[in-house]
Structure 1
Amino acid sequence: MTEEQRNPLLDGKAAPPILVVLSGPSGVGKDSILMRMRDIGFPFHFVVTATSRPMRPGERDGYDYHFLSEERFRSMIEAGELLEWAEVYGHYKGIPKSEVRQALQSGRDVILRIDVQGASTIKQLAPDAVFIFLAPGNFDELRNRLQWRRTESPDQMQQRLQMAAREMEALDQFDYVVVNREDHLDDAVGQIRAIIVAEKHRVRPRRVSL
C-alpha cells in the first residue's frame, strides 16, 4: 500500500472527505433523518436539492429545497449545472453540481438526500461514495407516513407504495441499510453516525472526485 492510498489519520491528519448518499422510498423519513442530524450538529455539508414542485406548508426555500420554476430548472439541465436530475411524479428534482464539488474540495463531508433513481445515477459518477438505503419498518408504517403528510390523493398514494416496493429491489446497489422504524428516529440516526465513523477509519479510505 502506497502512502497516497493509506488513511491520513495515520499521519495525524484528517481523513479525506466522504460523500454520503442517503436514499430510500418516498415517505420513509429521509427529511426527518436530515433534520435530526442537523439538530444534533453533524459536521456535514447538507446539500439542498432543487425541485420544481410547489412548496409544502412549513417548508423553507433554500433550506428544505431550492424551489425553482420549471423554466429555470430546464435551463440548469441544458447548462449542465446539475449532478443528477429526474422527473418524479410530474416534477423535476436535481442536485446542484457546484455545491457538492466546492464542499468536497474544501475538505467538508457531504450528504445527499436523494431518491433511488438518482442514487443509481450518482453511483455511476461517484462509485466511491457511501450509499445508505433507508428502509421502513414495514409497509404499514410507510402508508401511515404518507397519509399523515396529506399531500397525495388515494391514487397517488397507491402509486408511491407500488414504487416503494420496486425501489426495495434496488437494495443490492447500496453499501448499508438502516431501518427507520416508527418512533425510533434516534436509533436510525445513531446507525448512520456509526457507519460514517467506520468509513472515516478505513485503512484505504474512499476518495471521491466529481
Structure 2
Amino acid sequence: MSDDIGPMIRTARERRGWSQEFLAAKVGATQSTIDRIESGLTRRSRVLPEIVSALDIDLPGHEKRQTPTQVVGGFARVTYVLPKELIERIEQYKFAIGISSDDEAVRRIIDDFLKKRDEIVDVINRIINKYKLIKSMREAAGTVLANHPLVTTISFDKGGVVFDFDDSLYGKLDIEITSWGLVSIKKPDGSNFFFHKSDAPRWLSSDNIVEEYGSTDYIPF
C-alpha cells in the first residue's frame, strides 16, 4: 500500500464527517485498525475494499466492492450504522411493545413512520391492487389498513369497506370502497371531497369529480 493511501482515506473520511469509530463499525473493523491504516502502519488489510466502497474513493489496485442486497422470502437484508442514543431508543421501544427482535422493532418503526406520510390516494391504490390479486375486499382492506396510524375506524358491508382516514389538511375523511372497485370520499362535514376531472383516479365516483378548477373542495394530489 503506497504511503499516500492512508492520508487519502483519512481525508475522505473527515470530508464525510465520520469518526474512525463510525467507519470501523460500517466496514466491520475496529477503530484501531482504521487508525493504523490511516497512519500508514498497516499496509494490507482485509477491510480495505470495504473502506474504499464505503468512502466511495478510487485507490490504485483496489476495486470498490459491491455487496448485493440479499432478498429472502420477500425481505431484503440491509445494514445501517446507528448512533448509540438511537439504539437505546430502539431498545426502549422493544421493551414497551414486548418484542425481542431488533429487526422486527426497526421494521415496525420505519413502517409506522412511512404510513404517517401516506396520502389517501396511495392507500386506496394499495387496497385496490391487493384486491385484484386476492379477490377479497375484506382481506385486502384488512391487510393495508390494519394498525395504520391514520386509520381510525374500519367496517365491512356487502363486500365493500368503509373507513376513516385522518388527513393532515382536511381532517377525518370518510372513504367507501365497493367490491367492484368504485370509491367515494367525503369530508368531515359530510360534503364530497372533489378532484378535477383531468386528475381524478379511475376508481373515483363521479360524485367526487368537478369539471373546472377553482372549487374550494378540490385538492391536487
After TM superposition, the score normalised by the length of structure 2 is 0.23
| Larger Rg computed on CA atoms | 2
TM-score, structure 1 normalization: 0.23
